[in-house]
Amino acid sequence: MSSDVVIRAEGLVKIYRTDAVETLALRGVDLSIHKGEFTAVAGPSGSGKSTLLHLLGGLDRPTSGEVFLEGKALSKLHPEELARLRLERIGFVFQAHNLIPVLTVLENVTFALELRGVPARERERRAREVLAELGIEKYAQQFPHRLSGGEQQRVAVARAVVGDPAVVLADEPTASLDGENSRALIDLMRRLNETRGTTFFFATHDARLLDRVKRLLILEDGRIVSERVQA
Amino acid sequence: MRYALRNIKRAKRRAVYTFLATFYPALILVIMFGFAAGEMQSLFDSATKLETGHLQIRSAKELSGGSIPIFALPEGLVDELAHSDLLEFWTLRLDLPALAAIGSRSYGVVVQGVEPEKIRRISPVPGLVVQGRYIGGSGEAVVGEELARLLNLAVGDALVLLSAHPEAGMGAGVVMVVGIFRAPQAEMGRTIVQVSLDTAQDLVRRENAVTSVVAYVAGVTGPWHASRIEKAAAELEKILPPGLAVKKFAELAPEVAVFMQIARPVLTAFSAIFFILGGLVVLNSFYLAVLERTRELGVIRALGASRKWIMAALFWEVLVLSGSGAVLGALLGTGLIALVEKLGGLRLPGAYSEYLRAFGVDPILHLRVSPGEVAGAALAMIGVAVLSAWYPARRAARLDPVEAMRYVL
């Protein structure tokens, strides 16, 4: 395995079972995410994008197959070890409502650093630096409900990158945004990818954003059906 | 901690419910402790001062028919007691079953031979005399109002006493009624005739005859000092000559001792109802809180918070609310008790007051509560609240992040 591989997935299968129904969400996905990549996985609703991101981020376990994060097999980890791994090595951006409403913007961004035991002064310095980079430092003391949807998602991106994770996984981060805000958010993520070298892997079904990614995977019916690298 | 405090601020109404659910039980428990201690103090005082003392030295013999055996006060025992620093005060008594008669009327009584000068220090009877005066020497008696009514007695009347003790046989004497007292207990008012010790000794024709040395242990102010009474009894046993034994308060007034033993557990059990209700409110409140915050908790868990962190956050919340509620409730209870005491105690309402009087208890209740009880009430409530929050906190900690983030209330 190449040393710059951050995440490797082998034969990922995910079946959701209810009493009467069995749904095959992923049908054997193999992929590698390399350090510094800016990758999108696109596909229609129900194609398995969110499931794939949950498995890659250790939020859910595959029915079969394995995910390796920096060479570590996630299926062998206890839920608490997985939580620790997420805290230290993965940044997450979810579709919406993913900020903690009772914490200010600054506290939301420093939250994961606080869980990691980073000293208060250091975490505030790092958080303010990222907020400034994303142009939202002026909202540091505001509570999330006072911010627009686009601003809230920028705060979520700030929170995801502030801890210098191995990879940021974003599940349809633009789903609740209009076209302009969606493009702005993706551009911002791309800029962070270029300036900080942060690895991004995000899911989207918005075709207008796909020209902004370096690598594009198309997921259909639980399988990666095409892959292309773009300039 | 910050997350917990912000959540308290976010859900103010729920915070108020949780606060009150811990405030009231702690308040009620402290006040109940105050009542229990007040009642026990009253019972203890009336029983020990009127009748039993903290302990008594008696003959080790047992007599059938309920009479107390007579013994001759051993030489040296008085000196031993006088030099003992275990006892604060002691006095001699000779109790004899007798028939009191005047003219054609008679009534079964207990003649209590006492040391009039000594007993003034401890017994309330001299202070309860409502006609005439208390006995001063030989040949005088005081009787209760009830007995005076039964025998149609008045101060200055001559009363015939016919004693019949299983060991001493029959004895007879005439005493002059010098006073009538208002007994705190009707039974006592009907049956007690107090005379001087030598008058009672004349009835049994034995000098130095006593039935009890009634003693008060140094440093004992209430039933909470039972261990001091036990310790003094054990020490006294060592210096007593053969044939004598120490009987403690609990043996001398078993009904009062039993009441005191069960009063606190009964009140505590009653308070437990409020604790359970408080606990259910806390459980409900935090269960709803976890439901409402399911998505948020899912996000927090997804970001990497451990189960321990999630539980700790919820426990901080319950600790802050129940801690402030229980502590303030307990302190308010203490304050109310102090206020009642400052105003002279609590005069109990009519029927209850009469009931207590029948037991020889002062109908003015003096509430008291110890710092340990206040702390215990507050800590117990906090403990119940934390236990009640355990299930919702555990549920929150075990949320599956993906499921939780999909959750819509």
Q: Which domains does chain B carry?
A: 2-46+258-406 (no CATH), 86-214 (2.40.70)
Complex confidence, ipTM: 0.88
Q: Is the pLDDT of residue B359 over 70?
A: no
Q: Chain-wide mean pLDDT for chain A?
A: 89
Q: Is the pLDDT of residue A97 over 50?
A: yes
- Please tell me the distance in Å from B8's CA to the nearest CA on chain A: 10
Cβ–Cβ contact B2 with A under 8 A: yes
Q: Chain-wide mean pLDDT for chain B?
A: 86
Report the C-alpha gap between A112 and A101 in whole angstroms. Answer: 15
Q: Which two tokens stand for residue A117?
A: 């035991």
Instruction: Give me the helix-helix angle, A120-133 and A149-161, nearest 10°.
Output: 130
Determine the pLDDT at residue A121.
94
Instruction: Please judge whether A80 and B307 are an interchain contact, meaning their C-beta atoms are less than 8 angstroms apart.
Output: yes
- Which of these, B123, B121, B116, B71, lies nearest to B94 by C-alpha position? B71
Instruction: Please judge whether B303 and A57 are an interchain contact, meaning their C-beta atoms are less than 8 angstroms apart.
Output: no
Q: Which two tokens stand for residue B152?
A: 């149609």
Report the C-alpha gap between A170 and B30 in whole angstroms. Answer: 55
- Which of these, B28, B39, B17, B14, lies nearest to B378 by C-alpha position? B28
Q: What is the CATH number of the domain that holds A86?
A: 3.40.50.300
Judging contacts by C-beta atoms under 8 Å, the chain A residues touching residue B405 are 94, 98
Residues of A with CB under 8 A from a CB of B: 54, 57, 59-60, 79-80, 83-88, 90, 92, 94, 97-103, 107, 111-112, 115, 159
Cβ–Cβ contact B1 with A under 8 A: no
Residue pairs between chains A and B whose CB atoms are closer than 8 Å: 60
Determine the pLDDT at residue B75.
80
For residues B348-360, give the mean pLDDT: 66
Instruction: Please judge whether A101 and B10 are an interchain contact, meaning their C-beta atoms are less than 8 angstroms apart.
Output: yes
Judging contacts by C-beta atoms under 8 Å, the chain B residues touching residue A163 are none
Determine the pLDDT at residue B141.
96
Burial of B215: CB neighbours in 10 Å, binned 0-12, 13-18, 19+: buried
Instruction: Please judge whether B305 and A83 are an interchain contact, meaning their C-beta atoms are less than 8 angstroms apart.
Output: yes
Cβ pair A7, A56 in contact under 8 A: yes
Judging contacts by C-beta atoms under 8 Å, the chain B residues touching residue A90 are 304
pLDDT over 90 percentage in chain B: 31
For chain A, the domain total comes to 1
Q: Is the pLDDT of residue A219 over 80?
A: yes
Instruction: Please judge whether B306 and A97 are an interchain contact, meaning their C-beta atoms are less than 8 angstroms apart.
Output: no
For an interface test with B, the pick among A98, A110, A161, A172 (most B C-beta atoms closer than 10 Å) comes out as: A98
Rg (CA), chain B: 31
Q: Position of tokens 């004992």?
A: B220
Q: Position of tokens 């997350």?
A: B3
Closest chain B residue by Cα to residue A79: B306
Q: Is residue A156 part of a domain?
A: yes
Cβ–Cβ contact B305 with A under 8 A: yes
Q: Which two tokens stand for residue A158?
A: 């700030």
Determine the pLDDT at residue B360.
55
Q: Is residue A125 part of a domain?
A: yes
Q: Which of B3, B304, B405 sits opposite A83 (nearest CB)?
A: B304
User: Structural domain of residue A179, as residue ranges?
Assistant: 37-57+79-229
Determine the pLDDT at residue A32.
92
Determine the pLDDT at residue B294.
86
Q: Is residue A32 part of a domain?
A: no
> Quick check: helix, strand or coil at residue A39?
strand
Q: Is residue A67 part of a domain?
A: no
Judging contacts by C-beta atoms under 8 Å, the chain A residues touching residue B301 are 83
Q: Which of B6, B7, B299 sits opposite A94 (nearest CB)?
A: B299
Determine the pLDDT at residue B227.
85
Of the listed ranges A117-121, B21-25, B184-188, the one predicted with least confidence: B184-188
Judging contacts by C-beta atoms under 8 Å, the chain B residues touching residue A100 are 3, 296, 299-300
Q: Is residue A83 part of a domain?
A: yes
Cβ–Cβ contact B296 with A under 8 A: yes
pLDDT over 70 percentage in chain B: 97
Determine the pLDDT at residue B138.
92
Cβ-based neighbours of B155, under 8 Å, separated by 6 or more: B131, B132, B177, B178, B179, B180
Q: Is the pLDDT of residue B354 over 70?
A: no
Instruction: Please judge whether A107 and B301 are an interchain contact, meaning their C-beta atoms are less than 8 angstroms apart.
Output: no
Q: Is residue A185 part of a domain?
A: yes
pLDDT band for position A185 (cuts 50, 70, 90): confident
For residues B227-252, give the mean pLDDT: 86
Instruction: Please judge whether A103 and B300 are an interchain contact, meaning their C-beta atoms are less than 8 angstroms apart.
Output: no
Q: Is the pLDDT of residue B83 over 60?
A: yes
For residues B356-360, give the mean pLDDT: 58
Q: Which two tokens stand for residue B155?
A: 């101060």
Instruction: Please judge whether B302 and A107 are an interchain contact, meaning their C-beta atoms are less than 8 angstroms apart.
Output: no
Cβ pair B263, B222 in contact under 8 A: no
Determine the pLDDT at residue B273.
87
Judging contacts by C-beta atoms under 8 Å, the chain B residues touching residue A107 are 2
- Which of these, A91, A90, A63, A85, lies nearest to A73 by C-alpha position? A85
Burial of A231: CB neighbours in 10 Å, binned 0-12, 13-18, 19+: exposed
Of the listed ranges A136-150, B2-16, B139-153, the one predicted with least confidence: B2-16
Q: Is the pLDDT of residue B358 over 60?
A: no
For residues B310-321, give the mean pLDDT: 90
Cβ–Cβ contact B405 with A under 8 A: yes
Closest chain B residue by Cα to residue A112: B303
- Please tell me the distance in Å from A183's CA to the nearest CA on chain B: 24
Q: Is the pLDDT of residue B240 over 50?
A: yes
Cβ pair B147, B153 in contact under 8 A: yes
Determine the pLDDT at residue A46.
84
Judging contacts by C-beta atoms under 8 Å, the chain B residues touching residue A101 are 10, 296
Of the listed ranges B87-96, B114-123, B199-208, B398-407, the one predicted with least confidence: B398-407
Determine the pLDDT at residue B266.
82
Q: Is the pLDDT of residue B191 over 70?
A: yes
Determine the pLDDT at residue A1.
47
Q: Is residue A158 part of a domain?
A: yes
Q: Is residue A29 part of a domain?
A: no
Cβ-based neighbours of A164, under 8 Å, separated by 6 or more: A196, A198
Q: Which of A83, A101, A107 sits opposite B301 (nearest CB)?
A: A83
For residues B22-47, give the mean pLDDT: 84
